[in-house]
Amino acid sequence: MTILVTGGLGYIGSHTVVELLNSGFDVVIVDDLSNSEKFILNNIEEVAGKKPVFYPFDLRRKELLNQVFDAHKIDGCINFAAYKAVGESQEKPLDYYENNLFSLINILQEFKRRNISNFIFSSSCTVYGQADEMPITEDTPLKTPESSYGKTKQMGEEILKDFATAYQKRVSLLRYFNPIGAHPSAKLGELPIGIPNNLVPFVTQTAAGLRKELSIWGNDYPTPDGTAVRDYIYVVDLAKAHVAALKKLIASEDETVIDVFNLGTGTGSSVLEVVQAYEKANNVSVPYKICDRRQGDITIAYANADRAEQQLGWKADTTLEEALRTTWKWQKYLESRKY
Ligand code: UFG
């Protein structure tokens, strides 16, 4: 079976491509390299022992997408291609709506025209906003996200629900909590562009001496140590969940399926706990200072991932420290490449 993976050279995409290849799927990647690098393609081949087909273009180019569907018999899609910087989305909302939603709709048009089912969408726990109760289940009420990025995720989910219902398709909406870590081979990981916004990449660059100190955004939250709490999920565990979700769709006897899964560990960790775990896992020091809260941040978010365990037979079982160890190995690899 051949799976189209958009954004397949990106952070979560590249790890998922490896897991798909390991599970016997053929993979066709479309990635415009706007937030990824070509060498990741070679690294995927080194890790998986197989090379996916690769097309470098922007999914808004309908005619090129059409040619890919003509050239390959596509049986399903995992759609990672999207802009993802929360702050940037506030400055460039139209770019976010256009890129994230037009590209999604273009693929769905091909699916409709060619009668293809099995679509997996990268959603985010951002659709819950600050939930009133922890842990967050899939039935926790959604709130309108503050950022345009978050809104593209919520709108994407709505588009897919309508798509599945109107055209009898199988879709799976995967709500990621906070993905971290790198491939154990240290050949795949998150590529930093500019100053990292996310916690673990910033901690990594601080430990490596590229940044003077980490700013911890607030220690006056109503949490045990005052810093904000998130559910950090190891990227390889997350990648495996995609394969499990895809297999479930393929095996389903129902024509119309709308699956929704929280993908997290079920455990919350505070910013300070992450810093301490990083130092311990890698025997490094991470200097930090406490600053004011970051605008738009929520206090606490962690998943109840029971549904994924029950229905997919999947569970995130890598510990925070193990995941953080792979991040450091990946940093050393990037340094060796003078990235
Ligand atoms: N943090 C710091 N200092 C930093 C970076 C982050 O203290 O330099 C803190 C944040 O304030 C937050 C925690 O670390 O409390 C995690 O921050 P991240 O930016 O790593 O992750 P977020 O939870 O803010 O954002 C993530 C995804 C988004 C998604 C959002 C949904 O990166 O794509 O969850 O809530 F929209």
Report the separation in Å between the CA atom of 203 and the middle of ligand 1, taken as the mean of its atom positions.
12
Report the separation in Å between the CA atom of 250 and the middle of ligand 1, taken as the mean of its atom positions.
34
**Which amino acid would we find at residue 323?**
A
CB of 274 within 6 A of ligand 1: the answer is no
The domains located in the chain, with CATH, are: 2-177+234-264+305-316 (3.40.50.720)
CB of 202 within 6 A of ligand 1: the answer is yes
191 within 8 A of 36, measured Cβ to Cβ: yes
- Ligand 1: atom nearest CA of 216 is 7
Q: What is the pTM of this model?
A: 0.98
- Ligand 1: atom nearest CA of 85 is 33
149 is catalytic: yes
Give the confidence band of 192 by pLDDT, cuts at 50, 70, 90.
Answer: confident
Report the separation in Å between the CA atom of 188 and the middle of ligand 1, taken as the mean of its atom positions.
21
Report the separation in Å between the CA atom of 219 and the middle of ligand 1, taken as the mean of its atom positions.
14
* Residue 218 pLDDT > 90: yes
pLDDT at residue 155 in the model = 98
* Residue 193 pLDDT > 90: no
Q: What string of DSSP letters covers 55-98?
A: E---TT-HHHHHHHHHHS---EEEE------HHHHHH-HHHHHI
Place of tokens 């890129």: 99
pLDDT in tens, 293-321: 999 899 999 999 999 999 999 999 999 99
pLDDT in tens, 64-82: 999 999 999 999 999 999 9
DSSP-derived letter for residue 137 is P
Atom 4 of ligand 1, residue of closest alpha carbon = 199
